[in-house]
């Protein structure tokens, strides 16, 4: 097939690409893969129900930002299912639905790239889409570096040579079958571990090969881990790990383990590691040995900044108002990459637990303490995600983190903010377009600013005839503020001014009430509510469906 510079269409239909993005390090993605990802109209990727996609996170730097994204979310992974066809029925139905979604784009003439971690045809989910679509649409597969190749590279031992036989096995096979295959081959790699790890270790033990086998986790990423297979705690093993039985040592010409002072291959983006001691096999780290001396050759500026930077980073992540569907792919990727998760307890509970991540829940009024903890963990080398409901920059955690990061002792810690859908947008979407013209965002909380300032701003916004989005309208200890705010607004607004009260929008107890400023009852408002107060032009449209719409016209009457 031709390798055109653009994924141009050869017919009225689009072209389908299965693109391997490699094992984890973005620099191990091919140039062709990077180009196709950048040029595609549609980017598709698989994920579990938590929404995080490793393949997308690898390719993120090459996305344009204006492409259509199709998140192909598995209905079931390791849990049980109520589907009448069982696990296989649920998965088959899922792939049929995915194929239809992609076919709609292809029929519209769009080019579609399906991201695949590793190689698309090496135990890849793309195989199922290829089977359903390749006979109807121009299709091409772009190979990628497999986890098998990456695992052997970071281990630093040859996998096969000469006439040796390599056997690749899925860890989902029965331990007895695995043991028989391992005993009958020269070298072996077992994938798909995680929950299958105890059976895999049992198989290597029964085959008499455990002492020669290595464990490799998340090869080429910052989370890479290498250890003798027999020393690994099963509770710490993720799905993305390998058991590698490398080529046996045959004599003096066999590649020897690295010795202290020798160069060790370090994946881009990973922290430098001290070289193994003479007694440690290649790929392991002797934590008591001094770091290897730097080679005399001058490194590039980019290499020095990558290897010498020991600090991690803090990412402040917006979870959106509540619904999982409102979590952005960028936010999901940031959460997946974190070593530590920090946040207000109920918000942190919205993030699915992962065994490898440390969680630090706290109360609702300790934002500064949360920010300091996040920066201290990052200063020690961790990748930290601070979670925030809605958008972290709107009355939320971004300000607290950035304010704490202004301290000189945190000057070397990277801080970035991943935006989220705000509560004002979410509530507005439930009733139509009340924010269709100029609007103002205010908080009624006087915990960090005097009430006099709040009241002055309320009157100014009301006098300017702006729609108001009011955050933090009331709490158990703040009841009179909303009464006073309503009174101030009525000095400038008619009693029939539309008011929208959204409570727990996107959550399991969501309610949305459309009322007026004159009929607003502060007793029914609490901290989980957000209020939208209309301008003089905001209108309520009563409809036969029983669901009223609210909108603020785009045109404003001339003075």
What token pair was written down for 282?
Answer: 């290649």
Q: Element (H or E) spanning 362, and its range?
A: strand 358-362
Could you give the CA distance from residue 280 to residue 550 in angstroms, rounded to a whole number? 70
Residue with structure tokens 């929208």?
500
Report the predicted TM-score, pTM, of the whole model to 2 decimal places: 0.47
Residue with structure tokens 């996040």?
374
Q: How does pLDDT run across 460-493, given as a tens digit for each residue?
A: 999 999 999 999 898 877 888 888 999 999 999 9
Instruction: Find out whether 417 and 436 touch, Cβ atoms under 8 Å.
Output: no
**Residues, the chain, total?**
559
Task: Tell me the C-alpha to C-alpha distance, in Å, between residue 41 and each of 23, 228, 325.
Answer: 24, 44, 22
Q: Element (H or E) spanning 453, and its range?
A: helix 451-463
Instruction: Find out whether 222 and 133 touch, Cβ atoms under 8 Å.
Output: no
Sign of CA dihedral 253, 258, 260, 264: positive
By three-state DSSP, how is residue 211 classified? helix
| Residue 96 DSSP symbol | H
Pairing of strands 549-551, 432-433: parallel
For 276-315, give one letter per residue: b (16+ CB within 10 A) or e. bbeebbbbbbeeeeeebeeeeeeeeeeeeebbeeebbbbb
For 153-164, give one letter per residue: b (16+ CB within 10 A) or e. bbbbbebeeeee
Could you give the CA distance from residue 446 to residue 453 in angstroms, rounded to a whole number? 9
Pairing of strands 539-541, 549-551: antiparallel
Could you give the CA distance from residue 147 to residue 25 in angstroms, rounded to a whole number? 11
> Three-state secondary structure along 144-197?
CCCHHHHHHHHHCCCCCCCCCCEEEEECCCCHHHHHHHHHCCCEEEEECCHHHH
Q: How does pLDDT run across 259-280, given as a tens digit for each residue?
A: 223 333 333 333 333 333 333 3
Q: Which domains does the chain have, with CATH numbers?
A: 16-145 (3.40.1010.10), 146-249+280-285 (3.30.950.10), 313-421 (3.40.1010.10), 424-551 (3.30.950.10)
Could you give the CA distance from residue 66 to residue 13 in angstroms, rounded to a whole number? 21
By three-state DSSP, how is residue 140 classified? strand
pLDDT tens by residue, the chain, 559 residues: 444 444 444 447 899 999 999 999 999 999 999 999 999 999 999 987 777 788 999 999 999 888 999 999 888 665 556 666 666 778 888 999 999 999 999 999 999 999 999 999 999 999 999 999 999 999 999 999 999 999 989 888 888 888 899 999 999 999 999 999 999 999 999 998 988 999 999 999 999 999 999 999 989 988 889 999 999 999 889 888 999 999 875 444 444 333 223 333 333 333 333 333 333 333 333 333 333 333 333 333 333 333 333 468 999 999 988 777 788 888 888 898 888 999 998 898 888 877 778 899 888 778 889 999 999 999 888 899 999 999 999 988 999 999 999 998 888 899 999 999 999 999 999 999 999 999 999 999 888 889 899 999 999 999 999 999 999 898 877 888 888 999 999 999 999 999 999 998 888 888 999 999 999 988 889 888 999 999 999 999 988 787 889 999 988 887 7
């Amino acid at each position: 097939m031709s390798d055109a510079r653009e994924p141009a269409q050869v017919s009225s239909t689009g072209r389908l690409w299965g693109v391997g993005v490699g094992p984890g390090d973005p620099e191990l993605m091919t140039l062709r893969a990077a180009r196709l990802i950048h040029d595609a109209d549609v980017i598709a990727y698989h994920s579990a129900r938590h929404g995080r996609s490793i393949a997308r996170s690898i390719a993120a730097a090459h996305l344009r930002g204006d492409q259509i994204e199709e998140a192909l979310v598995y209905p079931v992974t390791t849990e049980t299912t109520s589907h009448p066809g069982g696990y296989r029925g649920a998965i088959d139905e899922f792939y049929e639905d995915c194929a239809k979604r992609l076919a709609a784009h292809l029929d519209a003439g769009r080019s579609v790239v399906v991201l695949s971690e590793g190689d698309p045809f090496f135990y890849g989910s793309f195989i199922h889409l290829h089977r359903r679509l390749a006979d109807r649409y121009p299709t091409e597969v772009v190979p990628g570096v497999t986890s098998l190749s990456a695992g052997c590279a970071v281990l630093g031992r040859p996998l096969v040579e000469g006439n040796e036989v390599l056997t690749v096995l899925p860890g989902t096979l029965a331990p007895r079958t695995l043991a028989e295959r391992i005993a009958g081959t020269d070298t072996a790699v077992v994938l798909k571990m995680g929950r299958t790890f105890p059976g895999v270790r049992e198989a290597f033990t029964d085959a008499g090969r455990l002492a020669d086998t290595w464990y490799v986790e998340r090869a080429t990423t910052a989370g890479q881990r290498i250890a003798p297979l027999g020393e690994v705690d099963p509770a710490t093993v993720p799905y993305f790990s390998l058991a590698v039985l490398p080529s046996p040592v045959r004599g003096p010409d066999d590649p020897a383990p690295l010795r202290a002072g020798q160069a060790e291959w370090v994946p881009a983006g990973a922290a430098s590691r001290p070289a193994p001691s003479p007694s440690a096999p290649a790929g392991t780290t002797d934590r008591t040995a001094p770091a290897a001396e730097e080679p005399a050759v001058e490194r590039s500026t980019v290499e020095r900044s990558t290897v010498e930077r020991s600090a991690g980073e803090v990412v402040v992540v917006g979870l959106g108002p509540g619904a999982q569907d409102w979590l952005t792919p960028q936010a999901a990727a940031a959460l997946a990459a974190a070593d530590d998760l920090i946040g207000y307890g109920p918000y942190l509970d919205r993030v699915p637990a992962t065994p490898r991540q440390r969680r630090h829940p706290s109360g609702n009024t300790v934002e500064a303490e949360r920010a300091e903890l996040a920066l201290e963990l990052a200063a020690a080398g961790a990748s930290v995600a601070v979670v925030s409901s809605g958008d972290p920059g709107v009355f939320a955690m971004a300000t607290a983190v950035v304010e704490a990061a202004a301290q000189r002792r945190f000057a070397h810690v990277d801080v970035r903010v991943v935006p989220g859908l705000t509560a004002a947008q979410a509530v507005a979407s439930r009733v139509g377009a009340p924010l269709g013209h100029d609007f103002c965002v205010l908080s009624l909380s006087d915990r960090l600013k005097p009430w006099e300032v709040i009241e002055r701003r309320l009157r100014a916004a009301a006098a300017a005839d702006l729609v108001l989005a009011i955050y933090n309208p009331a709490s158990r200890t703040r009841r009179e503020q909303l009464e006073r705010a309503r009174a101030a607004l009525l000095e400038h607004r008619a009693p029939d001014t539309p008011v929208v009260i959204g409570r727990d929008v996107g959550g399991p107890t969501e309610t949305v009430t459309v009322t007026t400023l004159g009929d607003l009852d502060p007793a029914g408002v609490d901290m989980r509510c957000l209020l939208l107060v209309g301008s003089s032009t905001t209108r309520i449209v009563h409809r036969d469906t029983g669901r009223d719409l609210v909108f603020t016209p785009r045109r404003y009457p001339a003075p």
